[in-house]
Amino acid sequence: MPTIAITGSASGIGAATAEELRRSGAGIIGVDLRDAEVIADLSTPEGREQAVDGVLSRCDGVLDGFVACAGLGPQVDDPGLIAGVNYFGTVALLDGLFPALRRGKDPAAVVVSSVASTHVTWDENPLAPLVQSGDEPEVDAVDAAVAAAGEYRGQYAYAASKNALTVAVRRRVPEWGAAGVRVNTVAPGSVETPLLRAGEADPRYGQAIREFVAPIPRHGRPEEVASLIAYLMSPRAGFVHGAQFVIDGGVDALLRPSRF
């Protein structure tokens, strides 16, 4: 039975993925703020260390898979917190669990990015200069980097953090591939999760979320994203490595049909 760690396992895409993988026979080590095998806050260095240590102790240092679902949405007012969880928290878990994945059987990892990762290029990403060193910047530096967006700085920080995360995954592809560990990202659009509902309730973003209609005119379901993740985690995707899979009802193709 494969052992797979999942961050953000208590709700949304993470919970749906845990259920999907359990049905396939996997043993799940959930990581979340509540209702999980490992309780940890990925917004802090101490919480990330606690998460890595908790997973490693439960898998005896051998892990067959890792799914990074934990993340914060644009309605969060603190850009530093968004970057802390979405980028630094995820990267810390990727790197911290990599040695255990190298010891696993047919190991693979999937990172949940976002279709918003395509809304800013790396060359124009305001967080790029702040994450190049690998050290987490001061909160004030993150605030200043996205200040131009004003009251929509949360959306700017969200898109920038997801873009930086996708770049971080792709930059790990040579080392991970050489070690026999596949890693890919999925980029959901609007999916019926607590994160989406929080966005709909926010006066800055709610109307736009409710009124925007994808080519497939509905929101996605967590189990649809989970089924894609389960495929990417399986041996059937054995030659899929370093790719980003958009699952957004056609939004990315609608907004940028000639860029892919």
Q: Which residue has the tokens 């999942």?
A: 6
Q: Which is it for strands 244-247 and 182-188: parallel, antiparallel or unpaired?
A: parallel
Asked whether 168 and 109 are in contact (CB, 8 A), the reply is: no
CB neighbours of residue 22 within 10 Å: 12
CA–CA dist 26, 20 (Å, integer): 9
Q: Which residues contact 179 (CB under 8 A, 6 or more apart)?
A: 98, 101, 102
158 is known as an active-site residue? yes
Q: How many residues does the chain have?
A: 260
Handedness of CA 254, 11, 197, 145 (dihedral sign): negative
Catalytic residue among 87, 156, 158, 205: 158
C-alpha dist (Å) from residue 67 to 160, 163, 206: 21, 18, 29
Parallel/antiparallel/unpaired status of strands 27-32 and 38-39: parallel
**Which residues participate in catalysis according to the annotation?**
158
